Amino acid sequence: MKISDLERGFGFKSLQAEYADRPLEAGYTSDLLSDVMANAKSEGVLVTIQAHKNTVAVASLVNLAAIVVCNGRPVPEDMLEAAKAEGVAVFLTDRSQFEVSGLLWPELGGAGQAGRAGQAGAAGQSGAAPGAAGQA
């Protein structure tokens, strides 16, 4: 999946289109920029509601290729200017972060990990206390 697929394939509105159209390697959803710095993967897309130039600074620091701003949040001009200077694509959607993450998950290789995540989630939802499996 390439950056331009965010617009063509999902209908996100491109707000800053001066970027190298390269493959996206991962995705990360967060509004806490320190979390993005610590955990987002290079060449990925950030799904967020944080619409300001500091989001672009963090994206550049982590080498993210694109930002998707959700919930139709207004995007200030200084954010777009910073993104243009850094070559970071910026898209806007009215969809929620949950919806966008769900759309991108299978496209960015997440479907192959669903079994493990589902198993961990199911184990955590059993109602038993941690470590209580098999105890009477």
Inter-residue contact 16 to 84 (CB < 8 Å): yes
The predicted pLDDT at position 4 comes to: 95
* Residue boundaries of the structural domains of the chain: 5-108
Say how far apart CA 16 and CA 6 lie, in whole Å: 12
The predicted pLDDT at position 99 comes to: 97
The predicted pLDDT at position 83 comes to: 98
- Of 58, 6, 1, 56, whose CA–CA distance to 25 is shortest? 1
The predicted pLDDT at position 110 comes to: 76
In the chain, which residues have pLDDT < 50?
A: 113-136
The predicted pLDDT at position 121 comes to: 39
Q: What is the pTM of this model?
A: 0.81
- Of 62, 63, 71, 53, whose CA–CA distance to 16 is shortest? 53
Name the architecture of domain 5-108.
3-Layer(aba) Sandwich (3.40)
The predicted pLDDT at position 112 comes to: 52
- Of 98, 80, 75, whose CA–CA distance to 27 is shortest? 98
β-strand pairing of 66-69 with 89-92? parallel
The predicted pLDDT at position 127 comes to: 41
The predicted pLDDT at position 111 comes to: 56
End-to-end CA distance of the chain: 49
φ, ψ of residue 61 in degrees (nearest 5): -60, -40
Q: Is 12 left (phi over 0), alpha (psi -120 to 50) or beta?
A: beta
